[in-house]
Amino acid sequence: MNTKVTIAGVTLNNPVMTASGTFGSGMEYGEFVDLNRLGAVVTKGVANVPWPGNPTPRVAEVYGGMLNAIGLQNPGVDVLIERDLPFLKQYDTKVVVNICGKTVEDYLEVVERLGDEAVDMLEINVSCPNVKEGAIAFGQQTDALYDITSQIKKKAKQPVIMKLSPNVTDIAEMAKAAEAAGADALSMINTITGMKIDVYRRKFVLANKTGGLSGPAIKPVAVRMVYQAAQAVKIPIIGMGGIATAEDAIEFLLAGATAVAVGAMNFVNPYATVEVIEGIEAYMRQTGTEDVRELIGAVERE
C-alpha cells in the first residue's frame, strides 16, 4: 500500500499536512502526536521581522467553526531559523514554511533568508484576511497575484506553494494566474472572512471586528474550490478547510487535491492529524486502494 505523494519533486510519506497557524511550529503538538507520522509540518506564517498581531479577543467560536483574527503574530524569520527549524529537523517529516509580508520586498527578504535552510517548500500567504496591509491584498486580484508569484519564483530556492484566498469571485482564475506565474503548487482555502456580534452587549466579539472563519462549517466551500481549481490548473493542490476526519480528507483528494491539511480541528482534537492518517490507511484497506494517488481527482472519473 502506498501512501506517499509528491508535490513539486518533494515526496511526503503521506498526504496529511498541518494548516499554517494551527500547529504552531510543531513543538506545541509534539506532546500529543508523533511528528514523524505527518506528511509535512507547515509552520505558522513568518515575516521578515516580528509582528505583534491584533488586540484581543482574537478568537470566537461560531456554529460549526471558529473565527480568528490573530493578525499574523510571529517572532520573525530569524527566530524561526534559530529555534523552530532545528527542532523540526529532528523529525522524518517535510518542513513547509509559511511566509507573510506587508510588501513584496518583505516576502522576498524571507524567501531569500530561507534559501539555504532546511526547508522543503515555501508556502506564500497572500490570503490572510486579518491584516490591513499586504497579505490578502496580493491574493484577491489576478494581476497582483501573478506579480508577487513571479517575483518570489525568481528568488526562491525551494518549491513555492501559493496559498489562495476563498474571498474571491472566481477561484479558477486565481489558480490560473498563480500557475502562469510559475507557482509549483497551490494550497486552499485560507479562512473565509466573517463576523460575530454579541447581541446582549451589542458589540463585535472580535477586537478586529472581522475574522477568518475556519472549521467544519467551511468544508463544502473548500471542497468546491479545490475541485474548480483542480479543473483549471495542472499544478498540485493542497486542500484544506474544516478537515476533522479521514472521510473529510478523502473528499478533498477525490475533488482533486494531492495532499490535505488539518487546521482548526487541531484545536479541538490535538490528535486529529494522526487520526486522519490512520483513517486514510483504513479506508485504503477497506476499499482495496493500493495507492493513495488513485484517489486524487477520482470523483466520478470514468
Per-residue burial over 103-137, b if 16 or more Cβ lie within 10 Å, else e, is: eeebbbbbbebbeebebbbbbbbbbbbbbeebbbb
Q: Which is nearer to another protein, 62 or 298 (CB)?
A: 62
Paired strand residues for 261: 17, 240
**Residue 75 contacts residue 130 (beta carbons within 8 Å):** no
Residues that bind another protein (CB under 8 A): 21-24, 28-29, 31-32, 44, 50-53, 56-61, 63-66, 68, 70, 73, 75-76, 79, 215-216, 264, 266-271
Nearest approach, Cβ of 29 to another protein (angstroms)?
A: 6
For residues 188 and 136, what is the distance between their CA atoms, to the nearest angstrom? 13
128 part of the active site: yes
Amino acid in the structure at residue 186: L
Tell me which H or E stretch contains 251: helix 246-255
Q: Cβ closer to another protein: 22 or 149?
A: 22
Q: Residue 68 or 289: which CB sits closer to another protein?
A: 68
Q: At its nearest, how many Å lie between another protein and the CB of residue 106?
A: 16
Q: In whole angstroms, how far apart are CA 255 and each of 112, 139, 220, 236, 298? A: 34, 22, 11, 12, 7
Residue 130 one-letter amino acid: N
Q: Is the CB of residue 265 less than 8 Å from the CB of residue 244?
A: yes
Least Å from the CB of residue 117 to another protein: 18
- The residue count of the chain comes to 302
Nearer to another protein, 22 or 158 (CB): 22
Q: Which is the catalytic residue, given 40, 85, 126, 128?
A: 128
* Cβ distance to another protein smaller for residue 51 or 252: 51
Hey, which residues are catalytic here? 128
